[in-house]
Amino acid sequence: MDDIEVTFLDRGRVQADRNFVVDGASVATASNRDPSHEYETYVVWNLVIETPELTILWDTGSHPEAGDGYWPEPLYEAFAHVDADEHHLADDLGGAGYELADIDAVVMSHLHLDHAGGLAEFAGTDVPVYVHREELPFAYFSATTDEGSIAYLQRDFDHDLNWQIVHGDSYHLADGVELLHLPGHTPGLMGALIDRPGTPLLIVGDEAYVEANYAGQSMATSLLWSNAAWKESLERCRNIQRETGADVLLGHDLSVFESLA
C-alpha cells in the first residue's frame, strides 16, 4: 500500500557465542578437541509502522539497565546487551521523530527480555498491547516456575497493560498489516507481512536470528520451544516470501538489518 511507512529503530548490540544462534557452529571433534568459538555481535531492533489507521510500535527492546543488574547475571553472561544503557525507548523513538504519545498500538512479537524491556512505558495507559494467546501464559509460567524458558522476566511484562489477545494463525491488525503466528522459538512468536510501497516486508523476527537459520540451520535447543514447530513456521515464511517477493527482516542479523534500514 502506498500509505504505509516503516521506520527502523536501532536499539543496540548484543554479543554472544554463535553456538547459541546456529546449532553446532563450533563443536569438538576427535582431531580438534578445542575448536575456536565465534563470539559475534547481533542487533536489537524495533519498528514504527505508520498506517492511516494506526502508528504501531513493533516490540520495545531491552530494559536500559540490562547490564546493571536488571538482567540476571547468567543471562547477561550468555547474551550481553552491551549498550542497553544508551538505548532508552523514548530516546530512540525521539531520534526517529516520534514520541511515546504518538504510539497507538504496540505489537509484541514475544515477551523475551530483549523484546519486552520497554513495556513499562505503556503501563497505566489505554494503548493496546497485542500478544499472541500462546505467548502470555507461557511467559508467566516461565517467569514464575523452574520450567519453560529462562529468557522471560516477570518485571518486564507484569504491568497494568491494555493486553489485546491475538488468536489463530493470522490476524488483520490494520490495512496492509497482517500478523502471523510463527511458533517455534516460543509458543506465541509473531511475525508480520507489511504491504508497504514497492516491496512488501516480511517480519520473520526471532523465527530466524540470522541468515543461516533462515536457510534451515536451527538455533541451539536452548533457544527453541519446539524444533518441529520451528520447521513448520520456517516453511510458512519461505512460502510467503516466494509468493510475495517480500524483503525479509530477521531477528538479530546485523548485516540484514543494516541492508534494510
Entry pTM: 0.96
d(CA 198, CA 75): 40
State how far the alpha carbon of 26 is from the alpha carbons of 35, 131, 153, 189, 219, in Å: 6, 35, 29, 27, 13
Q: Using one digit for the tens of pLDDT, what is the confidence trace for 194-249?
A: 999 999 999 999 999 999 999 999 999 989 999 999 999 999 999 999 999 999 99
Q: Using one digit for the tens of pLDDT, what is the confidence trace for 120-133?
A: 999 999 999 999 99
- Say how far residue 168 (Cα) sits from the centre of its chain: 19
Q: Using one digit for the tens of pLDDT, what is the confidence trace for 131-146?
A: 999 999 999 999 999 9
The strand pairing partners of 164, in sequence order, are: 130
d(CA 85, CA 64): 4
